[in-house]
Structure 1
């Protein structure tokens, strides 16, 4: 019997599990598969509605009593680096950027393991083996790149970002870097360099993932000017980060059926290549 994909993507909700960002909270995600001839269109459309990609899945938080997680992006036309960010850019300007196809290497995995062991030893990826790492990098049905940063003298790998190319920007799916150079602020530098990548490509946004008020892990994103957050079904200019809270409330999140009904889906006709 021949099976075909449904006309419209099907959305599902994960079971509640401990939140990795806010202690004592439970997280839940709304997600759908990213596959087929319309994968690029679906990824573009849902990324503009606060979704993120993980391999061949698109998801966004849908927690029952919490709406703290806000998808964030930098409008590069409004971005102005701070004094400290300009210093970070100069400090790392010798690094060599090289963009490649999404292909995992042993050198990347070794750097990834060192990064996790020092920065996120108790995180959700702490037990990821080399095969799972390869899947994270390589299982992408859309236009993705691995952006590597290397030392110009030794050619040693210093930092890596798995980056998707969207129709309106670049999306930093996951980044990691050597933990041996804390003074280099490599995480900030990669974001600054992705602003330049987007500018070079004529794209208006850099998608950063989720900003979570009250989370030390995710708070750094509010340090970038030109920031927008997806809130109330639209992108809004970030004014004062302190105006966003992480309070619990049983009416924080719309019912799942209402959320799905309000998702705008792209034209399902395959993209001509």
Structure 2
């Protein structure tokens, strides 16, 4: 293992407005993923709460707030509830393919429509095709684009997709997007998560990493539907209990940076 892998250099971003909790500032710590051991480094950092974006691994490092918590589903123990089983049956005709990380115009148009519907005004709405290509293709680790399509007899249209990393201990859902206005295909985002849980279990991988769950953010509440779930805290990974999900955002006394 190289010195770069063992002792990566970390950097901290300047504070900026938090996109999840009004009135708060976010800050991130990050490092570069490069070289022949990028996958090993990404795996190690993933186990302590980092996420990947292109060739960078990052995690929140906010002053006075620790509301963002890494969460992962225990794939082998997940059992869909009645609503989730109904959703799986409803979309059982979709054709699902794990594709190499190669951006397509069809994916980009689906992403644009998704952002316009679900995240209007968000920073990602400014992405162009080149930005999207970088998002998909600039990966130094094992990455796939999982595509979900209508059956061929219905035209084969792309209705959902997910950029997914395969790590040593699980699948990490980097970013998913779908046809949010398709009345005939409700719950596509939930379906994508459940499909990843099945994929992880079939591959013998213990976890599906869902990124950060933000206590107090309604936009992130959906992640707690997939139980059992583990959350990363100061003493390591532990099961997320019902009372945790209902708790108010954690906050520490605000202090100025030195």
Q: TM-score range by the shorter chain?
A: over 0.9
Aligned to 2:197: 195
- Give the gaps of 5 or more residues in structure 2: none
Q: Does 1:136 align with 2:110?
A: no
Distance 1:247 1:46 in 2: 23
Match of 2:44 in 1: 45
Q: How many Å separate the matches in 2 of 1:6 and 1:196? A: 31
Query: Is 1:110 equivalent to 2:112 in the alignment?
Result: no
> Aligned pair 1:58/2:50, yes or no?
no
- TM-superposed CA distance for 1:100, in Å, is 0.8
Q: Is the 8 A contact 2:215 2:250 kept in 1?
A: no
Per the TM alignment, residue 124 of structure 1 is displaced from its structure 2 partner at its CA by 2.0
| Cα deviation code 1:51-74 (max 9, x no counterpart) | 100000001111001000001100
- Residues 5 and 38 in structure 2, CA contact (< 8 A), matched pair in contact too: no
Q: How much has 1:162 moved relative to structure 2?
A: 0.2
Is the Cα contact below 8 Å between 2:5 and 2:37 reproduced in 1? no
2:248 counterpart of 1:249:
no
Q: 1:155 is matched with which residue?
A: 156
Are the counterparts in 1 of residues 28 and 59 from structure 2 also a CA contact under 8 Å? yes
Residue 78 of structure 1 and its aligned partner are, at CA, apart by 2.1
Q: Work out which structure has the larger RCO, using CA pairs closer than 8 Å and 6 or more positions apart in sequence.
A: 1
Aligned positions, number: 251
Q: Structure 1 residue 22: deviation in Å?
A: 0.7
Q: Which aligned runs of 4 or more in structure 1 are off by greater than 6 angstroms? A: none
Give the number of the structure whose residues are more often helix, by fraction. 2
**Which deviates further from its counterpart, 137-146 or 84-93?**
84-93
CA displacement 1:210-245 (0-9 Å, x = unmatched): 001111111100111111111114111001234543
Q: Which position in structure 2 is the counterpart of 1:85?
A: 84
Unaligned runs of 5+ in 1: 257-273
CA contact 1:92–1:184 (8 Å) conserved in 2: no
